[in-house]
Structure formats: structure tokens, C-alpha cells
């Protein structure tokens, strides 16, 4: 099927251990698919992934619910509802649209990678001194701002943010697969080594007071429900008129409304959000006029071009196309003689990335990303199997202390810095030999 091939192409291009996706047309789900190369782990379209900043869309809807009920105004300062907030003068509207001038991240350690603290601790650590711009000066994405918005919703509802999400959003929409913690059937967060192509585990943290900015886990099926809600509204959640307001770009943000990204996809305007947390990336967008929606969830820290997902999956040709060979991670550990060669090397001023893929050494031009050479291990060297050096042997030249000085193939020499003044004469001894 064409959708399956489009997903396979996304997986291969992004080096994704697994990626799950779904498409709806006219509000009706028409396809779900999953590509997984995770060793020893079963992952499917029913598996849960961390959705990162798609969580912000839920927080924004909670705030707009309160506005529609008359519990707050968008021009209220956040300090009117959270008096101890260090950025108390920032308005609800500006926090929703990332135009309040707040710093992007909270003070302290990297919040996405460590278990978070209490709201009191978060407010005490962020006293307002980290402001980067005046209110309304320009769009500046702020995770901290959404933590404050989540606390506004919690205080006005008289319950913790997650309990409010469950009662006011998930229950009426039937989103039973969306959770705060990872359920047993979840995709494991992974990071892919750029050169060795091996996998490393990423943390699944409880972000605490920062949860309204990016804590939640979900499935592609549940998120299709959320996407269609963003198109049509729901009588127990939010009206279509308020969603219209959320989907309109909020000046000076040209591509962000009140909690929703606004994305041009060809002739379409789509709204939704991207998401990332250590080990995960996510994409959710819907054409509110056509009710066409796309969701994609990946368990890789990088690699999914989240804003390109809608174009790739909505533009599939039913006739299909060439079959994509899936990318697969390299087993660990990488042989020591291979590990010494991986990374960036220069031939003159031209940079090349040497990577270990499928048991062979590959060389890519850093300017274009094009594959230039392929080598396989051959004793104490590497034998060229594709490219200019096919049939030639690539050898590592070492210093007296055993460290690799340079790579050599015929008269070609690669060094760790451009035109290394200590570069050897091809065939001669290594420096310090």
C-alpha cells in the first residue's frame, strides 16, 4: 500500500528504531501502519509513545474552556491566578501564543531528562529574571510558559493538572489510551548514534511541574480522535468557534495560534503540533476544513521531520512506488578497529562522515549527504566495494601511542581537521611514529 511505502521511506531517512502513523480522511480513519526494527521488542500501531509538546494542545484547551466559562480572561496576567509566579505580569494570551517574552526553558537542570519537582519549587526557581524579550516583541517558544498555564488550570479547577486533563478532555473524547506514565505496551525511547548506528536508551522521566508542557503518552488511534476534535469541537469539551480562535495565527507569531501550530501544506492550512522528548518525536496535524488528519510517533530523539509528515502521508500515490529498504541499527558493541574510523574526516577542505551501517563502512559527503563510498572489513583494512575506491584498501595509520592519525586509500588521505599541517605523505609514516 502507498501509505506503507511512505512510512517506510520516513523510517529509512530518519533512522528510526520504530515509527507508527495513522491517516484520517474526512474525519474517518483510513490507515494505520508501523515500521519497527527494534531488536527484541514488539511495537505496533497499538503501542504507546511519548507525545512531547502535543501535550501543550491539551493544556491550551483546558485554558480556553475556563475562558469560555468566564473563569478567566485571555488578557488576565498570570499572576492574577498564580500570585507567586515570577512572570506574574505575562498575560494568558501571550503565554498561549509564546509571545510573552519568557525564557524557553525553566531554570535548573535539563527538565526533559530529569524527574521534575513540585510547582512550588518551579515557581521559586523562576523568578522572572530570565526574560528574553518584551511582551509581544516577537515569538519565542517557552516550555516554562505552558507549565504556568497548566497551574492556572489546576488552581481554577481545584485539582491537579493531570486529573483535570482526564476529567475534562480524555473522558468525554474517549481517549482511554492517553496516559501520564508509559503503559506496559510502550515503545522504548532510544537515541541513535550518528556514526555507529547503535541504539542507546533514553530516560522516561516524570517531569513533575513541567508536565503540562510535554509529559503525556498516547497512541496513533487516540491522537486521531484528538485531531478530529481540533477540527470539529465537542459539546462537552470546546466549541468549533473557540477552536477557530485557537487556530488563527496570533501576532507577532505568524505560524502559531493559541496553543496550536499553523502549518501550510501545499494549498492546505493545517493545525496541530509537533512534539519531542528524549527518545521520542511526534507529529499531529489536521486540515480543519477537510477533516483530513495525520499522526506519526517515533521512538528516536532525532530523525523524524515532524513538519514534513503531513505532506509525505497526504500526498501518497495510490499506485505506490519503489520498495524502501528499512534502516536497521547496528549491533553493539562496534568492533574497536571500526570505532576508531567513525566520525568526521576531511579530504582537503571537504568533510566526510564515516558511518557503520549493516556491517559495512560508508562514507557520505557532509555537504550533500550523498553516499560516496562503501567499504567492507578485509583483515586489518577495509576493501572498497562501491565508489571511486572500489577494489582499493582503506587503511588506518596510527601514531606511536596507538591513536589513529589518518586514513589512507591509494594516494588519498583523510585527516580529522582540514588540510592538517601535520598530514603525512601518502605511504609514509604517521606523525609521531
Output the CA–CA distances (angstroms, integers) from residue 264 to 53, 215, 259, in the order listed.
19, 27, 17
Lookup result for grid cell 503518552: 217
DSSP string of 216-264, one letter each residue: -EE-HHHHHHHHHHHHH-BTTTB-HHHHHHHHS--TT-SSB-SS-EEEE
What is the model's pLDDT at position 368? 85
- Find the Cα–Cα–Cα–Cα dihedral 377, 379, 383, 385, rounded to 10°: -50
Q: In what order do the strands lie in the sheet with 350-357?
A: 343-347, 350-357, 360-365, 371-378, 381-386, 393-398, 404-409, 412-414
Asked whether the beta carbons of 357 and 344 are under 8 A apart, the reply is: no
What would the grid cell of residue 19 be?
A: 515509527
Angle between helix 143-157 and 55-69 (nearest 10) = 40
Residues of the chain with pLDDT under 70: 1, 317-323, 421-433
What's the rounded Cα separation, in Å, for the pair 170 and 110? 29
State CA 374 to chain mean position distance.
30
> Between 3.20.190.10, 3.40.710.10, 1.10.10.10, 3.90.550.10, what CATH number should domain 2-314 receive?
3.40.710.10
pLDDT digits (tens, 9 = 90+) for 195-243: 999 999 999 999 999 999 999 999 999 999 999 999 999 999 999 999 9
What is the model's pLDDT at position 326? 87
What is the model's pLDDT at position 424? 57
Report which of 282, 277, 299 is spatially closest to residue 187, judged by C-alpha positions.
299
What is the model's pLDDT at position 367? 85
Asked whether the beta carbons of 254 and 248 are under 8 A apart, the reply is: no
Q: Any idea what DSSP says for residue 185? A: S
The DSSP bridge partners found for residue 385 are none
Contacts with 368 (C-beta within 8 Å, 6 or more apart), sequence order: none
Output the CA–CA distances (angstroms, integers) from residue 411 to 294, 347, 374, 414, 424, in the order listed.
51, 11, 17, 10, 11
What is the model's pLDDT at position 323? 63
Q: Per-domain residue ranges for the chain?
A: 2-314, 336-414
Asked whether the beta carbons of 299 and 280 are under 8 A apart, the reply is: yes
What is the model's pLDDT at position 322? 55
Report which of 110, 41, 46 is spatially closest to residue 301, judged by C-alpha positions.
110
What's the rounded Cα separation, in Å, for the pair 364 and 374? 9
What is the model's pLDDT at position 316? 73
The DSSP bridge partners found for residue 361 are 356, 375
What would the grid cell of residue 74 be?
A: 485571555
Q: Any idea what DSSP says for residue 197? A: -
What is the model's pLDDT at position 410? 86
Q: Any idea what DSSP says for residue 425? A: P
What's the rounded Cα separation, in Å, for the pair 235 and 152? 23
Query: What percentage of the chain has pLDDT greater than the value 90?
Result: 85
Asked whether the beta carbons of 223 and 51 are under 8 A apart, the reply is: yes
What is the model's pLDDT at position 279? 97
What is the model's pLDDT at position 324? 75
What is the model's pLDDT at position 433? 43
Amino acid at each position: 500500500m502507498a501509505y506503507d511505502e511512505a512510512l517506510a521511506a520516513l523510517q529509512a531517512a530518519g533512522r528510526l528504531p520504530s515509527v507508527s502513523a495513522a491517516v484520517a480522511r474526512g474525519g474517518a480513519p483510513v490507515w494505520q501502519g508501523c515500521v519497527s526494527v527494534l531488536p527484541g521488542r514488539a511495537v505496533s500501531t497499538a503501542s504507546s509513545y511519548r507525545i512531547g509538546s502535543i501535550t501543550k494542545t491539551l493544556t491550551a484547551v483546558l485554558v480556553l474552556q475556563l475562558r469560555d466559562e468566564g473563569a478567566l480572561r485571555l488578557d488576565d496576567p498570570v499572576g492574577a491566578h498564580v500570585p507567586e509566579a515570577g512572570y506574574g505580569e505575562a498575560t494568558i494570551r501571550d503565554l498561549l501564543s509564546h509571545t510573552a517574552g519568557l525564557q524557553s526553558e525553566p531554570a535548573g537542570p535539563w527538565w526533559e531528562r530529569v524527574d521534575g519537582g513540585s510547582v512550588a519549587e518551579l515557581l521559586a526557581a523562576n523568578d522572572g529574571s530570565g526574560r528574553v524579550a518584551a511582551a509581544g516583541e516577537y515569538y519565542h517558544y517557552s516550555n516554562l510558559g505552558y507549565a504556568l498555564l497548566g497551574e492556572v488550570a489546576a488552581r481554577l479547577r481545584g485539582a491537579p493538572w493531570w486529573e483535570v486533563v482526564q476529567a475534562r478532555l480524555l473522558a468525554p473524547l474517549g481517549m482511554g489510551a492517553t496516559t501520564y506514565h508509559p503503559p506496559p505496551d510502550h515503545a522504548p525511547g532510544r537515541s541513535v548514534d550518528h556514526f555507529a548506528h547503535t541504539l542507546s536508551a533514553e530516560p522516561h522521566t516524570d517531569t513533575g511541574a513541567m508536565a503540562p508542557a510535554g509529559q503525556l503518552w498516547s497512541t496513533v488511534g487516540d491522537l486521531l480522535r484528538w485531531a478530529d476534535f481540533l477540527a470539529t469541537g465537542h459539546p462537552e469539551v470546546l466549541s468549533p468557534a473557540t477552536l477557530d480562535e485557537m487556530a488563527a495565527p496570533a501576532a507577532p507569531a505568524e505560524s502559531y495560534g493559541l496553543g496550536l501550530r499553523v502549518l501550510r501544506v501545499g494549498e492546505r492550512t493545517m493545525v496541530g503540533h509537533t512534539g519531542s522528548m528524549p527518545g521520542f518525536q511526534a507529529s499531529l496535524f489536521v486540515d480543519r476544513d477537510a477533516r483530513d488528519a495525520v499522526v506519526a510517533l517515533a521512538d528516536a530523539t532525532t530523525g523524524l521531520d515532524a513538519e514534513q509528515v503531513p505532506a509525505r502521508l497526504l500526498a501518497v500515490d495510490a499506485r505506490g512506488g519503489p520498495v524502501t529498504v528499512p534502516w536497521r541499527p547496528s549491533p553493539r558493541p562496534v568492533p574497536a578497529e571500526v570505532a576508531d574510523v567513525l566520525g568526521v574526516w576531511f579530504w582537503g577542505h571537504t568533510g566526510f562522515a564515516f558511518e557503520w551501517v549493516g556491517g559495512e563502512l560508508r562514507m557520505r559527503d557532509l555537504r550533500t549527504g550523498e553516499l560516496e563510498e562503501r567499504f567492507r572489513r578485509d583483515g586489518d583494512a577495509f576493501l572498497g566495494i562501491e565508489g571511486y575506491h572500489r577494489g582499493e584498501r582503506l587503511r588506518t595509520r596510527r601514531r606511536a601511542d596507538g591513536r589513529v592519525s589518518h586514513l589512507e586509500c591509494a594516494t588519498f588521505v583523510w585527516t580529522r581537521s582540514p588540510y592538517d599541517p601535520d598530514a603525512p605523505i601518502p605511504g609514509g609514516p604517521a606523525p609521531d611514529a
